[in-house]
Amino acid sequence: MAWALKLPLTDEVIESGLVQDFDASLSGIGQELGAGAYSMSDVLALPIFKQEESNLPPETENKILPFQYVLCAPTSPAIKLHDETLTYLNQGQSYEIRMLDNRKIGELPEITGKMVKSIIRVVFHDRRLQYTEHQQLEGWRWNRPGDRILDLDIPMSVGIIDPRANPTQLNTVEFLWDPSKRTSVFIQVHCISTEFTMRKHGGEKGVPFRIQIDTFKENESEEYTEHVHSASCQVKVFKPKGADRKQKTDREKMEKRAPQEKEKYQPSYETTILTECSPWPEVTYVSNSPSPGFNSTHNSFPVAEGNGSPSHQPEPVVQVADNLLPTATPQDAQQWLHRNRFSPFCRLFTNFSGADLLKLTREDVIQICGPADGIRLFNALKGRVVCPRLTIYVCQESQQAREHQPKHENGDAAANTFFVYHAIYLEELAASELAEKLAQLFNISPRQINQIFKQGPTGIHVLVSDEMIQNFQDEVCFVLDTMKDNTSDGYHIILK
């Protein structure tokens, strides 16, 4: 009560003192975070807070969302109340995401009976890694050449149409789906959380990822660019079976806690519901242009359509030998290493010219690059090609008859008689492969070759099958005869 005995102060003095005290109490906030602490704007920009930045007016915050995405994996029980859920995943394991239509009757009528496009991506949860996402993904690509961060398990998925995966976007897949039909997509995450930690001394905590789904509808130009809904969840990815062990460890820790402590934590749910968030800002992912990746079966083979005339034939893919020359400069050598998927070793060979690399022995390369990549690099340097499984030589019968010379009086053929044969190399040892190679030789479409026969004993025609080709002797010679099919525009080919 001593303060009551002081002389009365004016209102202005009291207000001034209160303001100074309040400012002083706030001045130390955030200093313990160090010089590298994030500003409040950075913190609010985290994906977990993105849903608070929604443009929705306050009165519509509790409205029912048009779609709901459910990841069929349990949440961790070691997450405090009011914190975002965390889900553990196993590397390379297929996990189902159910795509649910949550619209009320009459809501978004423009997509009724139409397809929508959804883009699934795995991104970083930490803001620090989001700033350097491109560099992080490029580093992962160099360490894991040919691998993807995110894949679709197409055989297990239901209701998805035209799935695509752009090879330049390792962490993104997209597909079309009909909201009125049952749709489940199975995804596989191939990176683990510890691959992106700063210090790797063993036992370190892995960084969290986010699985985000953005859904778009068609615009007036029939391009899927109009955003409809986005949602995401926080995950950590472990090596195979590591997620199950981590889930079990969290559950055992919670069981040992006192009942009053357990009340501070969320229960573990059997599935993870993705919560609404802002759409991913990179609009380059939202493109209706064809992207390679998961091709449907009708595009599996480069077979010409239409009448099969030579003018409609696709250009054959010519395998150009990419051999490193001794005259290659260090810059040329670096480009050659990149083209042949040896990017992780570019720093080691920074100053190596083509001649320097070609002088390396097999033991040298294995010691530098390890057994697997070392053997592959040595074979690439030496320009070693894989021999075909079967080689056959063919000659057209019309050419043979034209080049055949008259016989001498003794009945022997002229000494200068020769026939031109063409080499055909087979890898799959299949009748369809032989038909494609013969079609290229005759400059026609493979569809114009109806049947391939082999002339057997007494002149019989035996249908060529995969099993027959597999029993051909290597470097066997055949004379080709063609026979017009009277029932169609195709031909029969006879191997003699």
Q: Which CATH class is domain 67-276?
A: mainly beta
Give the residue-averaged pLDDT of 172-190. Answer: 93
Q: Band of the pLDDT at 93, cuts 50, 70, 90?
A: very high
Confidence at residue 17, expressed as pLDDT on a 0 to 100 scale: 55
Using the structure block, give the residue that is written with the tokens 């706030």: 26
Q: Band of the pLDDT at 259, cuts 50, 70, 90?
A: confident
Confidence at residue 371, expressed as pLDDT on a 0 to 100 scale: 83
Q: What percent of the chain has pLDDT over 70?
A: 73
Highest mean pLDDT among 5-19, 81-95, 116-130, 269-283: 81-95
Q: Band of the pLDDT at 12, cuts 50, 70, 90?
A: low
pLDDT above 90 (res 428)? no
Nearest by Cα to 93 from 78, 72, 77, 79: 72
pLDDT above 90 (res 95)? yes
Domain borders along the chain are 67-276, 330-382, 390-400+418-495
Question: Phi/psi at 210 (nearest 5 deg)?
Answer: -125, 135
pLDDT above 50 (res 336)? yes
Confidence at residue 40, expressed as pLDDT on a 0 to 100 scale: 40
pLDDT above 90 (res 168)? no
CB neighbour list of residue 377: distance below 8 Å, 6 or more residues apart: 342, 345, 365, 369
pLDDT above 80 (res 405)? no
pLDDT digits (tens, 9 = 90+) for 438-447: 888 878 877 8
Confidence at residue 49, expressed as pLDDT on a 0 to 100 scale: 42
Confidence at residue 417, expressed as pLDDT on a 0 to 100 scale: 58
CB neighbour list of residue 302: distance below 8 Å, 6 or more residues apart: 314, 317
pLDDT above 60 (res 140)? yes
Highest mean pLDDT among 107-111, 396-400, 413-417: 107-111
Confidence at residue 399, expressed as pLDDT on a 0 to 100 scale: 52
Q: Band of the pLDDT at 350, cuts 50, 70, 90?
A: confident
CA 29 to chain CA centroid, nearest Å? 44
In this structure, what is the dihedral angle of CA atoms 13, 17, 20, 22, given to the nearest 10 degrees?
-130
pLDDT digits (tens, 9 = 90+) for 269-324: 999 999 998 888 754 433 333 343 443 333 322 333 333 333 333 333 334 457 88
Give the residue-averaged pLDDT of 330-356. Answer: 84
Determine the topology of domain 390-400+418-495 in CATH: Ubiquitin-like (UB roll) (3.10.20)
Q: Which of these ranges, 117-126, 221-230, 366-375, 482-491, has the smallest mean pLDDT? A: 482-491
Q: Band of the pLDDT at 235, cuts 50, 70, 90?
A: very high
Instruction: Give the residue, 303 or 35, on which the prediction is more confident.
Output: 35
Average pLDDT for the chain:
75
Confidence at residue 27, expressed as pLDDT on a 0 to 100 scale: 45
pLDDT above 70 (res 20)? no
CB atoms within 10 A of CB 61: 11
Instruction: Give the residue, 242 or 2, on which the prediction is more confident.
Output: 242
- Cα separation values, 459 from 284, 352, 398, 470, 471, Å: 63, 62, 18, 22, 20
Confidence at residue 474, expressed as pLDDT on a 0 to 100 scale: 86
pLDDT above 90 (res 89)? yes
